[in-house]
Amino acid sequence: MTTEAISPGLSAGTLSGPRGPKPKTVTIGRIGVYAFLIISAVFFLMPLWVMIVTSLKTMPEIREGHLFNWPALLTFDPWLKAWDTACTGRDCNGLKPGFWNSVKITALSVPVSIVIAMINGYALSFWKYKGSELLFGILIFGAFVPFQVVIYPLIIGLSKVGLFATLPGIVVVHTIFGMPILTLLYRNFFASLPIELFKAGRVDGAGFWGIFFRIMLPMSVPITIVAIILQVTGIWNDFLFGTVFAGRENMPMTVQLNNIVTTTTGTREYNVNMAATILTAAVPLVVYFISGKWFVRGIAAGAVKG
């Protein structure tokens, strides 16, 4: 009572007026943003929906033409056929062999390319020598060379050493083409680490490999997860190198998918084609779903030091 009488202005100012967190209001702008996001999501999910329902329909139902409808008669036969018995030219083994070929190619190419890029990036960051910056420049330039330009020389080269159309051959090709971007990734990661860490390692008596294996490698886990995701999806999705360099025996899943879809004998089995496509895309999708969190975390960890 008395304080109010003495300074009414002050007490009014401290008790009324804005205080605490500002209330959230729904603005027109915000509604617009959400509307846009929802429409975009629907737009991009539509084809996936069509693929899924089509792959679960029988051919007569597909011919009726109701593209978006849930199948009246649910069938999983197209999936089995796509996996096991669909024909690519003469062979009728489905996608199965292609899947295992892709697994082999990916399982070999990913570790080989990452290990080499990691050592490259490490050497280029910490063991600079005369011309190492130039070498790095050339390597990065390699990322901008169109693939088509080098394919023919590479075919000749690989044939000469007997690696053309072999499993090691396709692994070498994936390793070469992954090198610029992966080296850049690792070099920038190592360059972001404090140089004193390297100096401390040298004072402690560790050499090139000692520092690499005992200090740098344990720190590279987040960036390596990023590299694995890049390489697994990139190599699994590859079509061009697989067609050209893998050879008949090692055709990856993408090439086999193409052969199934474009095969000209008989009627086009849309349900089988859809199932085959989803099966082929499943691996990168699964990788994204499992590792999305890791991917973001890896990029963030690469950005902060120590």
Partner 1 sequence: MTTSVSIKDLSLNFGNVKVLESLDLEVAQGEFIVLLGPSGCGKSTLLNCIAGLLDVSDGQIFISGKNVTWDEPKDRGIGMVFQSYALYPQMTVEKNLSFGLRVARMPKAEVDARVKRASEILQIEPLLQRKPVELSGGQRQRVAIGRALVRDVDVFLFDEPLSNLDAKLRNDLRIEIKRLHARLKNTMIYVTHDQIEAMTLADRIAIMKNGVIQQLADPHTIYNRPVNLFVAGFIGSPSMNFIKGDLSGTTLSVDGQANIPLGNYQFANQTNGASILGIRPEHIAVGEEARKMPVQMESEIEIVEPMGADTVAWTKIAGQSLTFRAAAEVHLEPGQKVLIGFDPGRGSVFNAASGNRI
3-class SS at 155?
helix
* Min separation Cβ 305 and partner 1, Å: 9
3-class SS at 226?
helix
What token pair was written down for 244?
Answer: 């050209």
Residues 6+ apart with CB under 8 A from 163: 169, 172
Sole window of 84-92, 144-152, 178-186, 194-202 interacting with partner 1 (rule: CB under 8 A) = 194-202
* Min separation Cβ 198 and partner 1, Å: 8
What token pair was written down for 176?
Answer: 């070469």
CA atoms of 276 and 261, how far apart (whole Å):
8
Residue 117 near residue 178 (C-beta atoms within 8 A) = yes
Instruction: Say whether residue 196 binds partner 1 (CB under 8 A).
Output: yes
Residue 186 near residue 120 (C-beta atoms within 8 A) = yes
User: Binding partner 1 by CB under 8 A: which of 63, 66, 128, 202?
Assistant: 202
Residues facing residue 91 across a β-bridge: 88
CA atoms of 111 and 189, how far apart (whole Å):
18
What token pair was written down for 228?
Answer: 């694995």
Instruction: Say whether residue 306 binds partner 1 (CB under 8 A).
Output: yes
Sole window of 53-61, 94-102, 210-218, 283-291 interacting with partner 1 (rule: CB under 8 A) = 210-218
User: Binding partner 1 by CB under 8 A: which of 203, 267, 293, 303?
Assistant: 203
User: Binding partner 1 by CB under 8 A: which of 84, 91, 204, 249?
Assistant: 204
| Residue 21 vs 207, nearer CB to partner 1 | 207
On the CB side of 181, CA atoms within 13 Å amount to 15
Instruction: Say whether residue 128 binds partner 1 (CB under 8 A).
Output: no
Instruction: Say whether residue 218 binds partner 1 (CB under 8 A).
Output: yes
Sole window of 29-37, 59-67, 107-115, 191-199 interacting with partner 1 (rule: CB under 8 A) = 191-199
Which positions from 238 through 297 interact with partner 1, judged by CB under 8 A? none
Instruction: Say whether residue 302 binds partner 1 (CB under 8 A).
Output: no
* Min separation Cβ 195 and partner 1, Å: 9
**Cβ count within 10 A of residue 123:** 20
Residues 6+ apart with CB under 8 A from 94: 81, 82, 83, 84, 85, 86, 260, 276
Helix, strand and coil percent figures for the chain, each rounded to 5 = 75, 0, 25
Instruction: Say whether residue 219 binds partner 1 (CB under 8 A).
Output: yes
Instruction: Say whether residue 209 binds partner 1 (CB under 8 A).
Output: no
Build a one-symbol-per-residue string for 63-102: x at contacts with partner 1 by CB under 8 A, - elsewhere. ----------------------------------------
Kindly list the residues in this chain that would bind partner 1 in the complex (CB under 8 A).
194, 196-197, 199-206, 210, 214-215, 218-219, 306
